[in-house]
Amino acid sequence: MQYGILIEGFLISFGLLVAIGPQNAYVLRQGLKHRHVGAVTTVCFVSDMALLTVGILGVGAIITASDALKFWLGWGGVVFLLWFALKSAKAALNPEGISAEAIESSAGEAAGKGVRTAVLHALAFTFLNPWVYMDTMGLVGAYSVKYTGDSERTLFMVGAWLASGLWFYGLGYGAKKAAPLFRKKTTWRILDSIIALVMFSVAGLLVQHLLSS
């Protein structure tokens, strides 16, 4: 078994996932507030697996080669990123601390409230973010072209899947341990401010790229 290819797929996928974005920010917030963490992380993981699979199997190259697709995905992404940035900025101005009761509540107690809404939000943050397509279907897909054999592509793809699973489940469930820190409104203000700044910056870079292309 060629473990080097599997590790390569893992590292490339993991490196792209770590960047702060709308999807990661949503998973983090759900984890910190103990809200449907299992459902949200699973939706993000399965969705990412699907996108990675499609990208590695070759559709990513089609999107990269299509000016029309790049145009609509690009400007749609600008709108989405700006909306999320404004939402985060508003949250920073009026932060919510997590009460001790919320921290101590079990996942089961919260599971019956708003699971459908949480899942729909997770799907929106995944599939309405153009960077997801650029990363999973464009960058990862284009990189995988170097592997011509089916077994090699499969190993690369499995490595990318493993990185996705480790990241999303680690982010969602690991956030719970940081929940006491987020009882303070100041912490939420800082987090949401950073997220807003990052999203505004990413939107600006995307606009610059679209205008220059």
- In one-letter notation, the amino acid at residue 85 is A
**Domain residues for 23?**
3-212
User: Per-residue pLDDT for 210 more than 60?
Assistant: yes
Give me the pLDDT at residue 111, please: 43
* Percentage of the residues of the chain whose pLDDT score is greater than 70: 81
Residue 135 or residue 20, greater confidence: 135
Please give the mean pLDDT across all residues of the chain: 79
- Name the DSSP class of 112: T
Model pLDDT for residues 19-35, shown as the tens digit of each residue: 667 788 888 888 887 88
Q: What is the mean pLDDT of residues 84-102?
A: 73
- The token pair at 157 is 């793809």
Give me the pLDDT at residue 97, please: 60
Q: Is 199 exposed, middle or buried (0-12, 13-18, 19+ CB in 10 A)?
A: buried
* Percentage of the residues of the chain whose pLDDT score is greater than 90: 16
d(C-alpha 29, C-alpha 95), whole Å: 12
User: Per-residue pLDDT for 53 more than 80?
Assistant: yes
User: Per-residue pLDDT for 102 more than 60?
Assistant: no
CB of 69 within 8 A of CB of 213? no
Q: How far is CA 169 from the centre of its chain?
A: 12
- The token pair at 90 is 């508003």
Model pLDDT for residues 172-192, shown as the tens digit of each residue: 998 877 767 767 788 778 878
Q: What is the mean pLDDT of residues 119-124?
A: 90
Q: Among 9-18, 23-32, 138-147, 167-176, where is mean pLDDT lowest?
A: 138-147
When divided into structural domains, the chain yields a total of: 1
User: Per-residue pLDDT for 16 more than 60?
Assistant: yes
Q: What is the mean pLDDT of residues 151-164?
A: 90
Give me the residue label for tokens 């990208």. 55
Residue 88 pLDDT class (50, 70, 90 cuts): confident
Of the candidates 10, 13, 30, 7, which has an alpha carbon nearest to the alpha carbon of residue 171? 30
pTM: 0.67
Residue 100 or residue 24, greater confidence: 24
